Amino acid sequence: MLIGYARVSKGDDQSDALQLRALKEAGCDRIFTEAMSGGRWDRPELHRLIDQLRPGDVVMVWKLDRLSRSLKDLLHLIDRITRAEAGFRSLTEAIETTSPAGRMLMHMIGSFAEFERAMIQERTTAGLASARAEGRIGGRRKKLDAAKRREIAESVLSGRKTGAEMARVYDVSPPTVSRIVAEYQTALTAGGS
């Protein structure tokens, strides 16, 4: 069975008429339509379509970006379709997985995506190492300076205030206060040894 999937972004003044016409002309027996962003995973019609696939079915879309905006997500969806022993075809780009040549093309696209992810990871790692060498440390800045952290720890340890009270005073969570107190105690113990 040929099964179509048409999607327009929610909130846009887009129409799915062009997609529906193309999918009907291509011979789709059933068409699932949706008005949601292609970057979202919680698309109920897409999941209904995939859940109902049977061996030999072919999922058709007008363009690849109707199925997903992310190459990684696109490959994941096509993998799910393939695991259901179904095929995939994009009408505009003439990409399909129903022939050996089409499957080879999808593997090549997947290889390029994997290469791109590896290159991004390599550049990120090099950038972080360079920043550390220059004395810059990533992550969010601490909300509390050393003096405030010391005041929290000493107030809680002396019994003047509870951890919950200090959390409210400095607008932090109680686990943050517990962590500050534990770090302070560790520092005192290490300094006293």
Mind telling me the catalytic residues?
9
Residue 92: other Cβ atoms inside 10 A: 13
Residues contacting residue 9 through CB under 8 Å, at least 6 positions apart = 35, 36, 37, 38
